[in-house]
Structure 1
Amino acid sequence: MEKKKVAVFIAEIYAPMIKEIQYGLIQCAKRSNIKLYFYTSFNDDFTTREYTQFTEYDKGDFVAYMLPDYDEYDGIITFDSCLPSMYLDKVNDIKKKAKCPTVSLGEEYDFSYTITTDQTQSFINLIDHLYDVHGCREMVHIAGRTSETFTQIRIDAFKAGLEKHNLPYDDSRVIYGSLWKDCGEPVVQQLLEKYKTVEGRILPDAIICANDFTAIGVIDALKARGYKVPGDVIVTGYDNVEEAQFGSPTITTLCQTFEQIGKECLKILKKVWEGIPTEKVFYEPGDLLTRQSCGCEPINFFNQSNIREKYARNLEGMGYLAKSNTALILSTSESESQEDIFNQIESICLRDTGFKSAVFCLMDDWDKQVVITSQEELHNKNFSVICGMYNDKKITRGPLPKGQYIPDEMKDDISPFYFFPIHHLKYFMGYIIVIPELENVYQQNLKSWLVNIGTILDNFRIRQILKQTVLTLENLYNKDTLTGLYNRRGYELNFKRYYKDCIESDSCLAVFVLDMDNLKYVNDNYGHEEGDYCLRTIGDAMIEAAQNDEICIRSGGDEFVILAKNYNDKKAEQLCTTIKESIKNKCINDKKPFIVSVSIGCHLQVPPKVTEDGMNTMLEAFLKKADALMYVEKKEHKKENKS
């Protein structure tokens, strides 16, 4: 079979259940000449519930699913059971429009092939066990949120299990929870209230929970009230999460065969590609795992070595990743340029992250707070590889051809690629292509590491804006609005700097004072607009002549100052001549009916050493001496005009 490309839409890659499905997909893909592209989200329903103020995050996160050109893929697989509920409608629109076959995990649709656990049979098997082995006759079900499609499926399965054994069912036997541990307290309170009216009972025989986290919360709430599990009541879960395996008591649960589900996804696609008829819905049977919470394992039995090994590995991974997170934040906090930011990210991206390779790509206008609302809009953007490590070497940086999202040097890689969005809240910036060591990607801290990339870039953007704002304010404070030259404050600020340079180099500091001749005459006879023309012409001539770091200043009215360092008499004379000729030529070219001229005085000397307190006296002394020389020339100009 020729090589096939399959896009996989996934979330929560660090979750144990999701990781097992990925294992199944990757193993089957390697044997079948299939290249997998995982497009990932770090949003999830728990985040949405607990941090509702961050809902804008969803808009930037979803853009990952817009990256692929679906027409280029031979198949699409979506992990519907783990995708945020707010994404499902958008993802389903993608599947409906796709020209290739699609497979959905967990949800049944008429426009897609579906793999789902046979929840009805799984629940019936559980109730059979509780009825036959433990003699349970009074059972209740703690359901999930009504917004979840599997909630009603599991309620119906619970009902079917009771009816099989001719046990009574009514709606009071179902209590709705949140699918998280926090629902344990209110659920137990409702149960205690319910059984107050039942003679001879405090609790039911068994509490059948929609998932393990609900079961853990219920057990904790029962323990807090002094009830024993399974002594006083049996509690069961669903999913076989790690906490269910190693808690006290360990939880009897229904286990979905996640790795096999991953393999079945690609088996379905292969049948479709080969033209072999296949059912639209494939039901994968689940397994019943009996443990301490139903009494099948003794409560005093613990597999301590497994627990220690598992949590030691988790803690070690968390510690390393936390260090990587800290290094990422601190190393970029003082970066003054984009290149420095990118260099720091590149140097850290493989450090304790679980990544074998990581390549970072940004939109050319990533710092403009772009909100992407459609795939067409995204595909019109230009992207560049800005940094990263690939096969233990630095990636080649540079622009990508429009519509290409993978660097040329990675195109022939057969490893599965993971695409993570880079964004800050709703503002999309780019994406990261990762080849992970999947067994090391089990820490939810990974989410923080990747989210921090977007936050770091946005903080840099804000710092640059603040820096530019400060410069703008300084210009407004230190610059003359008519000529664009420094104002008198600019003279004071720069004199101190030039003074220190001249002290260090033992060279002359020069101060020129320029004053326009006959500004009042121009204003009175030709208007203030022409007077402003004269002042701008003088300012432009000063800037044109300033070729050696001279600082040009309009100190007020028709008075100007030039501050220069490392000067001598010849350079001072040349500067004055250049300014006067430039003014004269400008007026001739503009055919003005008046003459613009200036009187200039210059004082230069190697400045004496003074204390910081004596600096103001020094700068005024230079200015007064230059001003006095300027008036000498102005008197000569007046004599010439009279004659």
Structure 2
Amino acid sequence: MSNKKKIAVFLSGLDEEYQNQITQGIHEFAAAHNIDVLHFIAFGGILNNGSYDTGEYNIFRLPNLQELDGVILLTNTIDSPETVREIISQVRASGVPAVSVDADYQDFFSICVDNHSAMAQIVRHFTNEHGLRRINYVSGPDDNPDSIARLAAYKQVLEEHNIPIEEARIYHGTFQRRDGRTAVDVFLRSDLPMPEAIVCANDTMAVSVIGALNARGIRVPGDIMVSGFDNTYNARNYAPEISSVARPLGQCGALACQLLYNAWHGVPQTRVHKLEMQPRFTESCGCGAHYCDTIRDFKKHNYQIQEDFNVDISLLSRMACSLVECANYEEYIEALKEFVLETNCEEFYLCLCENWLGHALPATQAEPDPSTADACLIHGYTQRMLVPLSYYEGKFRCHEDFHVDQMLPALYRQVDHMRCFYFVPLHFREHCLGYYAICNTAFPMRSSLFHSWSLNLSNSMENIRRIIYLDHAVQELDKLYATDPLSGIANRNGFRRQTEPVFARCIAEKHPVMVMFIDMDGLKMINDTYGHKSGDIAIRSMATILHECCTNGEICCRFGGDEFIVFAANYTQQDADRMTDSIQKKLEDYNRATSMPFALHASSGYHIAVPTPDKSLFAMVTLADTIMYAEKRKKRHSKYLKSSSSIRQDAESN
């Protein structure tokens, strides 16, 4: 097992600049100290779908913290309070040193910024420097600590200037892009006078606010001033450049690693660390450009972004088309290999729940069947995980299943350099399929389409699951069509399907065919005397005997009721007599061995002929039936019931 330290990072939305820059800081420190980093990533709160978010957040139940050396938490990126509580409880119970970024939890190290002070400076800039009084606000989630502090600062500054706090001027969002557009719609429909400024709790919403205002012919900053928070790349390079607050995000990530490193080595340190933030007043509030790359650098950077985007779009399109065309599981796994290689990863593992095929199709079963609850896995993962596809050391390999506590089958391989893993959930709605892990590739951090790539993988896995599931359903229906449900051998449909090609070949090659008709003796008497359950036992026993006798290519079926047929090609009269004797011998053995109160007997008759095109198989069945009935008329039906003394003898012998 490797002695390298391993850090787990919990976060949602890696494609946002806030998460991305903090993670880059983590990577720089980890690379310098040869520490492995395991990111457990969700993309929750993006599609506005609660079932989807449940499936995403399940990934946070995967980490086995007893196998890890430290945890970095970005819980303010996770918009599910219940999920956050579960994560905090899990980390506390593990006793592993943990660092929380922008959220303070007892017993954990904390890195934070003074959100209140920074937001207060932004709002005071509008009131003091620009003399504004109608200032609207777009907030983040009501239960997010950063969002709470920033909203409180907005309200405090308004109170300082005796500006009424009007709830209609506050929109409560989720830090998502859509919130900016929605907030503008709400503000413009309000009966209040138009705002002079809109202060946003992050840059993502600020960019969306400006876009929505421009779409309505409202100029920024000419008609309404706008500000954001975080000073992201998009905000700095937007037109107009957005007034914001610069946060040392990379420094946060590096410091989080440093705190864990110090804890491992017993270095004394304070629990809470607060970093400074700097407001930047630029074009969106009319204060002029502040951020100045050279035009050459700007064009080069934007060209690279567009080039990467075009490459990734092509990858996604080809991946979607290729995987959806796969007709079976084997084709799917083979096709997926191409797209794994295109991520330029060092390692890749597709890990599926042991029962990933088992959950009911939503279209056919709205509510899970309680008797198969384990087949509808929603919370956590199965103890055994399957690995149909793994890639490392430049080769695709076969892996046996592994216990989920290992997280990955090859996690503890001795590797000299830093390994950077990204664990991403695979699910359909809330139903868990498994997860995948990708290692040492720039793709998750570089591409804004990494989430779409993961979504492609989840949806295509569900598609192939449905294909397998439906194929199985078709097979079961076909089995019902061709198999007698009581006896378990072929019914008339199955008999016809199995015998028709053999019968046609015998016609063409002029080979003889034998058809034997078997009729159980006294089944009505068994049913009337002992009930239909006993009659069913008799029918099943008869079918078993015929199946055991048909060992040389013969085909048997339950023709209906108590009637059975045996079909064989290239049979002589001697072969047919041997078959008759074999059936009668097994009937006698059954009657001696069973403790049932009835004896099992049958009459049979056979017909052998070289078939001709003008003679059907069922014409031969009719002839065999006639011969059988001649045999049956010779028998006395009273002997089909056992005497009480023979029943006792059978019971004693058994």
Question: Which TM-score applies when normalising by structure 1?
Answer: 0.81
Alpha-carbon distance in 2 for matches of 1:182, 1:219: 12
Return the letter of the residue paired with 1:320. L
1:30-75 deviation line (CA, Å, top 9, x unaligned): 21232222122222x233xx33xxx233444333222223233321
> Does the alignment pair 1:544 with 2:548?
yes
CA–CA separation in structure 2 for the residues paired with 1:595 and 1:18: 76
Q: Using the alignment, how far apart are the partners of 2:389 and 2:508 within structure 1?
A: 42
Q: Take 2:572 and 2:413, find their aligned partners in 1: how far apart are those partners?
A: 63
**380, 383, 389: which one pairs with 2:391?**
389
Structure-2 residue corresponding to 1:37: 38
- String of CA shifts for 1:592-643, please: whole Å, max 9, x gaps: 88682422213342553x7xxxxxx7233232343344456557879xx9xx
For 1:564-643, list aligned pairs within 5 A: 564-565=568-569, 567=571, 571-590=575-594, 596-605=601-610, 607-608=612-613, 618-630=616-628
- Given that 1:249 and 1:293 are in contact with CA atoms closer than 8 Å, whether structure 2 keeps it comes out as yes
Distance (whole Å) between structure 2 residues aligned to residue 313 and residue 343 of structure 1: 26
Structure 1 residues 438 and 533, CA, compared in 2 at 3 Å: closer, same or farther? closer
For 2:570 and 2:334, how far apart are their aligned partners in 1?
Answer: 38
Residue identity opposite 2:601 in structure 1: V
How far did residue 89 of structure 1 move?
A: 1.6
Q: Does 1:364 align with 2:354?
A: yes
Question: In structure 1, what is the Cα distance between the partners aligned to 2:181 and 2:281?
Answer: 21
Question: Aligned letter for 1:416?
Answer: C
User: Does 1:422 pair with 2:426?
Assistant: yes
CA RMSD of aligned residues (A): 3.8
Are 2:83 and 1:90 aligned? no
1:582 CA displacement: 1.8
Give 1:487's aligned residue.
Answer: 491
Answer yes or no: is 1:244 the counterpart of 2:235: yes
Pairing 1:252-401 to 2, within 5 Å after superposition: 252-295=243-286, 296-297=288-289, 306-331=301-326, 334-335=327-328, 341-345=332-336, 347-353=337-343, 355-369=345-359, 370=374, 381-401=383-403
Does residue 217 of structure 1 match 2:199?
no
Q: Secondary structure, in 3 states, of the residue corresponding to 2:346?
A: strand
AA aligned to 2:222 is G
Change (3 A) 1:108 1:194: farther
> What pairs up with 1:457-468 in 2 under 5 angstroms?
457-468=461-472
Name the aligned partner's letter for residue 555 of structure 2. Answer: I
C-alpha distance after superposition, 1:445-482 (max 9, x if no partner): 43344345444444555555544444444444544454
**What residue ranges of structure 2 are gaps of 5+ in the alignment?**
360-373, 640-654
1-structure distance, mates of 2:155, 2:212: 25
C-alpha distance 598-159 of structure 1, shift in aligned 2 (>3 A): closer
Structure 2 distance, partners of 1:523, 1:94, is 63
Of 394, 403, 407, 1:405 maps to 407
Q: How many residues align?
A: 607
Q: Is the 8 A contact 2:386 2:400 kept in 1?
A: yes
Shift of 1:546: 0.9
For residues 155-166 of structure 1, the aligned pairs below 5 Å read 155-158=151-154
Change (3 A) 1:534 1:85: closer
* Bigger shift: residues 590-599 or 256-265: 590-599
Secondary structure of 1:18 counterpart:
helix
Does 1:175 find its partner at 2:170?
yes
Out of 213-222 and 519-528, give the one that drifted further: 519-528
* Alpha carbons 2:513, 2:570 under 8 Å: kept: yes
Question: In the alignment, residue 29 of structure 2 is paired with which amino acid?
Answer: C
* Identity score, percent: 25
Pairing 1:21–2:22 present? yes
CA distance in 2, matches of 1:344, 1:390: 17
2:66 — aligned with what?
71
Q: Is the CA contact 1:80–1:107 (under 8 Å) kept in the aligned structure 2? A: yes
Residues 316, 452 of structure 2: 8 Å contact kept? no
Q: CA deviation at 1:491?
A: 3.0
The equivalent of 1:614 in structure 2 is none
Question: Which of these residues, 559, 565, 568, is aligned with residue 563 of structure 2?
Answer: 559
Structure-1 separation of matches of 2:64 and 2:133:
54
Check whether the contact 1:328–1:348 (CA below 8 A) recurs between aligned residues: no
Task: Name the CA shift for 1:527/1:365 in 2 (closer, same or farther; >3 Å).
Answer: closer
Q: Describe the SS at the equivalent of 1:142.
A: strand
Q: Aligned partners of 1:522 and 1:532: how far apart in 2? A: 10
AA in 2 matched with 1:107: A
Q: For 2:75, what is the secondary structure of its paired residue?
A: coil
CA distance in 1, matches of 2:158, 2:531: 100
Equivalent of 1:57 in 52, 64, 67: 52
Give the equivalent residue in structure 1 for 2:187. 190
Aligned-partner Cα distance in 1 for 2:498–2:228: 74
What amino acid does structure 2 have at the position aligned with 1:487? N
Confirm or deny: 8 A CA contact 2:55 2:429 kept in the other structure: yes
Q: Flag the 1:528–1:100 CA change in 2: closer, same or farther, 3 A.
A: closer
> Hey, what's the Cα distance between the residues in 2 that align with 1:150 and 1:402?
35
Separation in 2, partners of 1:389, 1:531: 58
Contact kept? 2:102, 2:145, Cα under 8 Å: no
Deviation at 1:495, TM superposition (A): 3.3
Task: Work out the CA distance in 1 between the residues paired with 2:534 and 2:158.
Answer: 98
Partner of 1:297, secondary structure, is: coil
CA–CA separation in structure 1 for the residues paired with 2:533 and 2:84? 66
Cα distance in 1, alignment partners of residues 233 and 621 from structure 2? 79
Q: Distance in 1 between matches of 2:462 and 2:570?
A: 43
Of 104, 111, 114, 1:115 maps to 111
Partner of 2:221: 230
TM-score for both structures, normalised by structure 2? 0.80
Check 1:168–1:280 CA distance in 2 against 1; reply closer, same or farther (3 A cut).
farther
Call closer, same or farther: CA 1:465–1:522 in 2, change over 3 Å.
Answer: same
Which residue of the partner structure matches residue 5 of structure 2?
4
Shift of the 357–561 alpha-carbon distance from structure 1 to 2, 3 Å rule, reads same
Letter in 1 for 2:46: F
Task: Give the AA of the match of 1:415.
Answer: R
Letter in 2 for 1:485: I
In the TM superposition, what is the alpha-carbon distance from 1:550 to its structure 2 partner?
2.5
- Paired residue secondary structure (1:228): coil
